[in-house]
Every structure is written in structure tokens, then in C-alpha cells.
Amino acid sequence: MDGKIVRPVTEFKYIMLYKPKGCVTTRSDEKGRKTVYDYLKDLKIPHLVPVGRLDYDTEGLLLLTNDGDAVNALTHPSHEVEKTYLVHVDGEVPEHKLAQLRKGVVLDDGVKTSRSKVKLIEFKDGVSKLQVVISEGKNRQVRRMFAAVGEEVTFLKRVAVGAIRLGGLSRGAYRYLNDREIAYVKSL
């Protein structure tokens, strides 16, 4: 193409990154902000792309791969791969709002979310800690869901994508997926 030989990818790589808050899920940023690729500088994997996105203020599990089929399997709405988040909200979130979130809420753009799983983990020191599981991936969805019921998310961390859990990585660290995790991705 354009005078260059194009060869298909023959060796697929699957990476788990603990994306810290304060960086963007893109290759470069016009505002000069840190990107997830700044944490992967030592990797020389062509065509490595993020599987979905996490916004600037969200931390947690971000998968990256050069396997286009895996990206599609993990992100296409028809596969309904669940994404699990740890959410903090100041104050006690009443049960009726949790019930609304579980049934689906209308976001600020008029689109209604699908059902979700929302569980209060604990209310301590004035903060509600919740687990939220969604199977869609609208832009800033979890934050917008809570805004739709009049609550503001103060902390958001993705802890799992399907059967793949973040585990013991520290912020900014990455690792290759293990054989079990790769088998899960391929099973989709």
C-alpha cells in the first residue's frame, strides 16, 4: 500500500494495563496530556490498540491488543461482555436510586441505558462504595448514569472486563495476559 509491503499480524499480544487517573486512552493528545502509551514505551508491538476506553478521570483495567477479532469480541454490544467498576459517591445513595440504575436510566443525551447490576458494598465515613456491572460502553456511562439520578461519582475504577480481573497490578503497571485469560478472550 502506497509503495510499502503490508503483512498481516501473525503473533497476537494481549496486555493488561492499570490505567491511572490523569491520562488519556489515545496514542497522542493535542493538549499534551499523558497517554496510556507513555506507560507502554518499552513495548514494541505494532498495531497495539486499546479495547474500549477509560476517560481521563477514571482508573483501572484497560486491555490492549493487536488482535482485531479480540477487540471486536470484547467491545461489540452483541457480545454483552460485562465491565465491573468500583464507584464512590459522597453521601448515602438511597435504595430507590439504586433501583433506578438497575432498571436503566435515561442519560443526558436522551439514550436509555440497559439494565445493570448495582450493589452497595458499604457506606462508611460519608461515602457510598458501590459495585456497578454494565454490559454496554457508552461514553462516560457510569458517571452519566449516576448523574441521571442526581449523584456525582467521586472515584471510578474498572476492576474487571468479563472474566479478566485487574488483580494486584499497581497504577501505571502492565502485564501480558496469561493463558487462561487469553483462552477466555478467544472463547468470545
Cα angle 11, 47, 35 (rounded to 5 degrees) comes to: 130
Q: Is 125 a catalytic residue?
A: no
- What single-letter DSSP state applies at residue 35? B
> Helices then strands (H, E): number in the chain?
4, 9
Contact, 36 vs 19, CB < 8 A?
yes
| Angstrom distance (rounded) from CA 95 to CA 88 | 15
Catalytic residue among 2, 42, 55, 67: 55
| Angstrom distance (rounded) from CA 72 to CA 187 | 12
| Catalytic residue annotation | 55
